[in-house]
């Protein structure tokens, strides 16, 4: 019913599969961006416009039964580490360290923007997306406040969502505590370096 895509590029493949959509692209970088497709009517939408980055967060408000629900699709700053290309000697490790610090500072700014936006809404909310960080991170624990992690409730195994050479879960679906999580699945298909995830949710009366 709802599909969130990061690093979206214009495509007609999904044109007839969903009734509504909201897409925000970055015109400075090959028109890549973020997209949310929905079979529920979208009554409001917008972009948080992260500063000094090609990453972003977008949202839609949808009508489900007699309730209004907010969906966030977020793509936090990447640490840009490729284990197949990096040299982990002393000199390179120093460069990687400063790259990580720079990326994490951007993630902190981005998370604070999301938190501020969340506080300004009275709707139940769901956060989906690529956090570029793990469930052990400060980023995750901030965004998971008053939320339930769909994988922790209904998933199994390691739940790896990123092909890094070992299990790494950096993509999440976090649902408001008032929303029931019925099912969670990770699809181990190699469409990209990430694996798609899906949750089945039910609004609690």
Residue 34 CB: number of other CB atoms within 10 A?
24
Distance CA 154, CA 177 (A): 14
Distance CA 147, CA 125 (A): 9
Share of the chain above pLDDT 90, in %: 71
Token duo for residue 174 = 């976090």
Each residue's pLDDT tens digit, 88-125: 555 666 777 777 889 999 999 999 999 999 999 999 99
pLDDT at 27 over 70: no
Token duo for residue 16 = 């007839």
Distance CA 203, CA 35 (A): 23
Each residue's pLDDT tens digit, 128-168: 999 999 999 999 999 999 999 999 999 999 999 987 777 89
pLDDT of amino acid 98: 76
Q: Which range (11-25, 81-95, 112-126, 163-177) has the least confidence?
A: 81-95
pLDDT at 87 over 60: no
> How are the residues of the chain apportioned to helix, strand and coil, as percentages rounded to the nearest 5?
20, 35, 45
pLDDT of amino acid 89: 56
3 state DSSP class of 180 = strand
pLDDT at 82 over 80: no
């Amino acid at each position: 019913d709802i599909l969130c895509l990061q690093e979206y590029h214009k495509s007609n493949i999904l044109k007839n599969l969903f009734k509504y959509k909201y897409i925000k692209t970055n015109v400075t970088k090959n028109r890549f961006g973020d997209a949310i497709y929905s079979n529920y009517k979208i009554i409001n939408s917008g972009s948080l416009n992260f500063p000094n980055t090609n990453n972003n967060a977008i949202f839609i408000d949808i009508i489900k039964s007699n309730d209004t629900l907010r969906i966030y699709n977020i793509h936090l700053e990447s640490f840009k580490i490729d284990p197949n290309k990096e040299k982990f000697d002393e000199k390179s490790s120093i460069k990687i360290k400063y790259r990580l610090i720079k990326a994490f500072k951007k993630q902190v700014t981005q998370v604070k923007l999301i938190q501020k936006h969340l506080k300004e809404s009275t709707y139940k909310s769901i956060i989906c997306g690529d956090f570029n960080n793990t469930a052990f991170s400060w980023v995750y624990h901030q965004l998971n406040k008053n939320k339930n992690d769909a994988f922790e409730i209904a998933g199994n195994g390691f739940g790896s969502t990123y092909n890094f050479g070992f299990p790494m879960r950096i993509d999440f679906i976090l649902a408001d505590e008032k929303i029931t999580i019925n099912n969670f699945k990770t699809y181990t298909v190699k469409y990209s370096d990430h694996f798609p995830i899906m949750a089945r949710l039910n609004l609690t009366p």
